[in-house]
Amino acid sequence: MVFVGVGLLVTLGVAGGMLAVLQNSNLASGSSTPTSPGTAKNDVVFGAPAPATPELPASATFAEQSHISGYQSSFYVLGFVTNTSPFTVEKPKVTAVLLDKSGQELATRDGFAEGDALAPQAIAPVKLLVSDPPAHSRIKFEVVVRKASYIPEQARGLRLEVLEAPHVTFGTSWEVTGKVVNGGEQRARFVNVLVQAFDASNRLIGLDSTYADGEAIAAGAVARFRAMPLYDAPPHHFKYTVSGQAAQ
């Protein structure tokens, strides 16, 4: 038993000496602290990735401006949609929900904003047809919008020239004529002219659009347009906009 104990002490002494030699070797090589068990000197330890910030949902608001007459009991609701999302959205849809006095839903009608896509904080007019409506007490509006998955390239350099001031042709029918000049470097297709009419208080009372003649307007070329809107009352002033997609 004495020899076994002596042997064990000798073994422990040798192991302790080897550990001291290793520690001194680490210090001599410039390492100020020993490596932790299970981690090599050159190992890289990564922390867990930060959770991704969830994207905000698409959102938009609708501001009703006026009602204008349609055929028989039908009518149009005019207003503006504003994109309140931090990203571009596809053409927003506005749903008119017709309600009775108790708030019960009776029917719905849909309309879409003008334009292919709407940038953040951009505003677009809406003309929504309420056809053959049932008797109702009021209307509430809902906006359906989603992030744009595709944004068509817009033609640059388009400008409008209105040839005559808008004028009455017969009854409540008016006429607006002019031409679109493509001052850009690319062909423009689907060239659309939008005519907005306002009353003296700057309330939207008319919204009509038409396409310029031809399938596309070459760079430096001109195309004519004619719009024939109907107004319940003579507008105080007008606003014209033109847009088109770039074509190769």
* pLDDT average, residue stretch 46-58: 75
133 pLDDT above the threshold of 80:
yes
Q: What is the pLDDT of residue 54?
A: 78
The hierarchical CATH code for the domain 158-247 is 2.60.40.10
| Residue from 212, 184, 202 nearest 239 by CA | 202
Angstrom distance (rounded) from CA 248 to CA 12: 85
Q: What is the CA radius of gyration of the chain?
A: 36
Question: pLDDT of 4-41, one tens digit each?
Answer: 343 433 343 434 444 443 344 443 444 444 555 555 55
194 pLDDT above the threshold of 50:
yes
Angstrom distance (rounded) from CA 155 to CA 221: 13
Mean pLDDT of all residues in the chain? Answer: 86
Q: What is the pLDDT of residue 25?
A: 46
Spatial contact of 80 and 65, defined as CB atoms under 8 Å apart: yes
Angstrom distance (rounded) from CA 208 to CA 114: 10
Q: Band of the pLDDT at 43, cuts 50, 70, 90?
A: low
Q: What is the pLDDT of residue 47?
A: 63
218 pLDDT above the threshold of 60:
yes
Angstrom distance (rounded) from CA 186 to CA 175: 30
Q: What is the pLDDT of residue 40?
A: 54
Three-state SS sequence of the chain:
CHHHHHHHHHHHHHHHHHHHHHHHHHHHCCCCCCCCCCCCCCCCCCCCCCCCCCCCCCCEEEEEEEEEECCCCCEEEEEEEEECCCCCEECCEEEEEEECCCCCEEEEEEEEECCCEECCCCEEEEEEEECCCCCCCEEEEEEECCECCCCCCECCCEEEEECCCCEEEECCEEEEEEEEEECCCCEEEEEEEEEEEECCCCCEEEEEEEECCCCEECCCCEEEEEECCECCCCCCEEEEEEEEEEEC
Question: pLDDT of 148-192, one tens digit each?
Answer: 999 999 999 999 999 988 999 999 999 999 999 999 999 999 999
- Write down the domain spans for the chain: 60-144, 158-247
Q: What is the pLDDT of residue 53?
A: 73
201 pLDDT above the threshold of 90:
yes
Lowest-confidence segment of 46-60, 86-100, 185-199 by average pLDDT = 46-60
Angstrom distance (rounded) from CA 189 to CA 9: 95
Q: What is the pLDDT of residue 10?
A: 36
Q: What is the pLDDT of residue 248?
A: 78
90 pLDDT above the threshold of 50:
yes
Spatial contact of 91 and 192, defined as CB atoms under 8 Å apart: no
**Do the domains 158-247 and 60-144 match in fold?**
yes
Q: Which residue has the tokens 């006026």?
A: 66
Q: Band of the pLDDT at 92, cuts 50, 70, 90?
A: very high
Q: What is the pLDDT of residue 14?
A: 38
Angstrom distance (rounded) from CA 62 to CA 76: 15
* Whether domain 60-144 has CATH 2.60.40.10: yes
